[in-house]
């Protein structure tokens, strides 16, 4: 099996079996502002000999979406405020970077050492307001898309024009987790599928009625796709095939827990 693809065979007792495949798309060039990202994805799939099918799900790294949308800042053009300068001394960060972070966040949730956990304007909680200097030219940083769900919807519609298929799109980003080591991909934006699967009201194997089980399907798909989305090898897109998702209107914003229900506040 190619190292940029993954095949998982699930055997389910009494239900037959089903196969999930995950393909990493190679050949996508460095992204510049204004490029047709949907067309680049379509052409990369063609060049790889991967014919997209109805039912496929595309997972696209946030970084390439942000670049295509021009969500890139040149630090030399940033004038740090006195607040940013003061905080930069405390955090040990470039004051220009701190200024960009402050401009992107709605609130600072937690500060410890050089770690800044923020709530961005879309409601997502992440480190440094999602401002990132990796996989971008020296002296630049990328920002999160202004509206990740809208970005996913635009990409879904563009791919429908190119393929004639209605393919769900998930925009993924890497995130740490409370009380857990390591990072995983999660769904920052989504379109074309229901991001949550609600099992409340159904019964478990022993007949007990489930009351709290709601599965974050979009996050699980994003995490699975990361197994073949290798940043250092330039694979920012994955195609998931064979997963039985629920079609519908919705977005990754549905996955955000309201601050009023934050168990860690």
What is the mean predicted confidence (pLDDT) over 165-193? 92
pTM for the model stands at 0.89
Identify the residue with better confidence: 3 or 205.
205
Q: How confident is the model at residue 210 (pLDDT cuts 50, 70, 90)?
A: low
pLDDT exceeds cutoff 60 at 257: yes
In 3D, which of 70, 74, 71 has the Cα closest to residue 35?
A: 70
**DSSP H helical ranges for the chain:** 37-47, 62-68, 82-91, 95-104, 148-163, 217-225
For residue 12, the model assigns a pLDDT of 44
Under 8 Å between Cβ of 63 and 71 = no
CA–chain centroid gap for 33, Å, is 19
Length of the chain: 265
Assigned CATH class of 39-64+145-257: alpha beta
pLDDT exceeds cutoff 60 at 2: no
In 3D, which of 106, 111, 66 has the Cα closest to residue 87?
A: 111
For residue 113, the model assigns a pLDDT of 76
Which SS3 state, helix, strand or coil, does residue 30 take? coil
pLDDT exceeds cutoff 60 at 162: yes
Under 8 Å between Cβ of 251 and 189 = yes
Partners of 180 in the β-ladder: 177
Label residue 262 exposed, middle or buried (CB < 10 Å: 0-12, 13-18, 19+): exposed
pLDDT exceeds cutoff 70 at 15: no
Under 8 Å between Cβ of 155 and 169 = yes
- CATH level 2 (architecture), domain 72-140: Alpha-Beta Complex (3.90)
pLDDT digits (tens, 9 = 90+) for 74-130: 999 999 999 999 989 888 889 999 999 999 999 888 887 778 889 998 889 988 999
Secondary element (H or E) of residue 177: strand 169-177
How far apart CA 62 and CA 185 sit, in angstroms, is 10
DSSP 8-state symbol, 209? B
* Ranges of CATH 3.30.1330.100 domains, the chain: 39-64+145-257
Question: If you search the block for the tokens 């860690």, which residue do you land on?
Answer: 264
For residue 14, the model assigns a pLDDT of 44
pLDDT digits (tens, 9 = 90+) for 128-158: 999 998 888 899 999 999 999 999 999 999 9
Upper half-sphere CA count for residue 168 (Cβ side, 13 Å): 30
Among residues of the chain, what percentage have pLDDT more than 70? 86
* Ranges of CATH 3.90.1660.10 domains, the chain: 72-140
């Amino acid at each position: 099996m190619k190292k940029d693809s993954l095949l998982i065979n699930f055997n389910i007792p009494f239900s037959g079996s089903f196969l999930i495949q995950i393909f990493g798309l190679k050949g996508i060039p460095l992204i510049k502002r204004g490029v047709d990202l949907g067309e680049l994805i379509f052409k990369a799939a063609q060049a790889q000999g991967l014919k997209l099918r109805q039912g496929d799900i595309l997972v696209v790294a946030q970084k390439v979406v942000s670049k295509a949308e021009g969500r890139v800042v040149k630090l030399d053009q940033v004038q740090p405020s006195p607040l940013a300068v003061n905080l930069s001394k405390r955090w040990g960060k470039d004051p220009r970077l701190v200024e960009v972070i402050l401009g992107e966040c709605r609130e600072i949730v937690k500060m410890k050492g050089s770690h800044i956990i923020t709530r961005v304007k879309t409601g997502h909680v992440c480190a440094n307001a999602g401002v990132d200097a990796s996989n971008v030219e020296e002296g630049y940083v990328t920002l999160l898309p202004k509206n990740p769900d809208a970005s996913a919807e635009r990409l879904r519609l563009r791919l429908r024009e190119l393929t004639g298929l209605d393919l769900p799109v998930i925009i993924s980003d890497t995130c740490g987790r409370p009380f857990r080591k390591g990072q995983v991909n999660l769904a920052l934006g989504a379109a074309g599928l229901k991001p949550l699967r609600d099992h409340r009201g159904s019964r478990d194997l022993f007949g007990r009625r489930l009351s709290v089980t709601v599965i974050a399907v979009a996050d699980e798909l994003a995490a699975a796709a990361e197994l073949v989305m290798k940043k250092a090898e330039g694979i920012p897109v994955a195609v998931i095939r064979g997963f039985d998702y629920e079609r519908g209107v919705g977005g990754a914003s549905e996955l955000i827990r309201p601050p009023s229900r934050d168990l860690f506040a």
